[in-house]
Amino acid sequence: MIRLLIADDQALVRGALAALLQLEDDLEVVAEVARGDEVVDAAIESSPDVALLDVEMPGIDGLAAARLLRDAVPSCRVLMVTTFGRPGYLKQAMSAGASGFVVKDTPARQLADAVRRVHSGLRVVDPTLAAESLTQGDSPLTEREADVLQAARSGGTVAAIAGTLFLSEGTVRNHLSSAIGKTGARTRAEAVRVAVDNGWLLPH
Amino acid sequence: MIRLLIADDQALVRGALAALLQLEDDLEVVAEVARGDEVVDAAIESSPDVALLDVEMPGIDGLAAARLLRDAVPSCRVLMVTTFGRPGYLKQAMSAGASGFVVKDTPARQLADAVRRVHSGLRVVDPTLAAESLTQGDSPLTEREADVLQAARSGGTVAAIAGTLFLSEGTVRNHLSSAIGKTGARTRAEAVRVAVDNGWLLPH
DNA sequence: ACGTGACCATGACAGGTGTCACGGCCTTGG
DNA sequence: CCAAGGCCGTGACACCTGTCATGGTCACGT
């Protein structure tokens, strides 16, 4: 019997995944949580063999939750299950100690197999996504550039960004200009779009 | 036996929902599709009693699919099941002839009941969402303003927007300015964010 | 027929934005 | 030690944006 923990913020999806996996004879859902910061506590209490983690979650995101879970309950393998196949997410997930990475586009029948493979110590990675992740390397953005771009997501003006980050307006403009150049964009909004699509910015 | 059609672009979610509903004795999944433009054909072939439609789908979105389905197979009731609780979506869904509107945050157990209610002719609406939809009225944007804002989503410059919409740059600026004023924003990016959050722009 | 309002366009203007050059402070690594 | 590179800041400049005034066409409801 493989014991499972399921973490997904959408209750309907979470319950449906549980129902789907519960159909398998060798799988057993022992915990369900809706927030990233509930993962570790639930795992300690229910000691699952495999944890299915969504990337987009309130509290802390699935990537951070995977890191914490790795330290708190090393016996539990992590299988990331996410909506968006952003190449950057895969790298972050792997460096966070995840054993597998599956997008929600994959057929339902394959999920149970992915869980079994992860449980037996194998790595499960979406092949097309792995290719994308290899061709296009790491994020070219420096930490501050990512911060500034992140602050620019809500659409505020330079002054607003400078205010929230306690920076000079000139510095913000420089970081934005650099980020725009690196992403091949022509405006800050386009740069944000590119960065988000590639998973170079944190979820949210 | 209530016959069901499930439309969702994410294969995993679609399969999981099917598994969840299949557990009920009085429910039967007779068709699954991944694209909006496959809904009508599948419905004609399998003649379901209730169709669960996601709003975000490739091809045509769930709202348009609901309208087409309403005309092609009037005997089939429509229950929208969507990720984002944008107030504007609810209005559009209702005017498209949907009988119910459920967000994916709702508990899994309630879904089967929602399906049964819709099948028996009742309307099912998320109460909190209904309240939001009432307090904040229809979209204040005119058709062209919405078009321009939609074109501005990718982050292009005014010239680019004017090019794709075959408009003068001055006209684009005017429409953007008007949209910015109506949304209470200060920049176009912020206006886009507000409009998207309220469901005033088409999905995607 | 008339007013209203959406739509398109032009022109002009203040202010914001993106770019560049320059300098200074750090930490890292040869 | 010293170069390299990320980080922060200033200042200046061309360009783009957002706003406003103005005017024209068209469809509409009274």
pLDDT of residue A73: 95
DSSP A98-164: -SEEEETTS-THHHHHHHHHHHTT--EE-HHHHHHHHHS-S----HHHHHHHHHGGG---HHHHHHH
Would the pLDDT of B67 be above 70? yes
B160-174 mean pLDDT = 91
Would the pLDDT of B136 be above 80? no
- Phi first, then psi, for residue B6 (nearest 5°) are -120, 125
B180-189 mean pLDDT = 92
B107-115 mean pLDDT = 95
* Rounded Cα–Cα distance for residues A56 and B177 (Å): 33
B143-170 mean pLDDT = 91
Probe site for chain A from B4, B8, B10, B13 (most A CB atoms < 10 A): B13
pLDDT of residue B88: 86
How many Å does it take to go from CA B148 to C1' C8? Answer: 13
N- to C-terminal Cα separation, chain B = 35
B32-45 mean pLDDT = 96
Tell me the CATH class for A143-197: mainly alpha
**Measured CA distances, A157 to A58, A130, A153, A176, B73 (Å):** 26, 37, 10, 12, 49
**Which chain A residues have a beta carbon less than 8 Å from that of B185?**
155
B164-193 mean pLDDT = 92
Burial class, B79, CB count within 10 angstroms (exposed 0-12 / middle 13-18 / buried 19+): buried
Q: CATH code for B2-135? A: 3.40.50.2300
The answer to whether B2-135 and B143-197 have equal CATH topology is: no
Long-range contact pairs involving B111-115 (C-beta distance under 8 Å, separation at least 24):
B111/A12, B111/A15, B111/B17, B111/B20, B111/B21, B111/B81, B112/B20, B112/B21, B112/B24, B112/B27, B114/B79, B115/B2, B115/B4, B115/B21, B115/B27, B115/B50, B115/B52, B115/B79
- Phi first, then psi, for residue A66 (nearest 5°) are -65, -40
Q: What is the pLDDT along chain A (204 residues), one digit of tens a residue?
A: 999 999 999 999 999 999 999 999 999 999 999 999 999 999 999 999 999 999 999 999 999 999 999 999 999 999 999 998 888 888 889 888 999 999 999 999 999 999 999 999 999 998 888 877 766 667 788 888 999 999 999 888 999 999 999 999 999 999 999 999 999 999 999 999 999 988 888 877
Q: Which of residues 145-164 of B touch A (CB under 8 A)?
A: 152, 154-157
B128 touching A (Cβ < 8 Å): no
Q: Quick one: pLDDT band at residue B128, thresholds 50, 70, 90?
A: confident
- Cβ neighbours of B158 (radius 10 Å): 18
Determine contact, residues B43/B89, Cβ cutoff 8 Å: no
* Rounded Cα–Cα distance for residues A45 and A40 (Å): 9
- In B, minimum Cα distance to A197 occurs at B154
Instruction: Inspect the interface and report whether the beta carbons of A12 and B157 lie closer than 8 Å.
Output: no
B112 touching A (Cβ < 8 Å): no
- In A, minimum Cα distance to B23 occurs at A19
Would the pLDDT of B184 be above 80? yes
Half-sphere exposure of A98 (CA within 13 A, CB side): 29
Segments making up each domain of chain B, as ranges: 2-135, 143-197
pLDDT of residue A192: 93
Mean predicted lDDT score pLDDT of chain B: 92
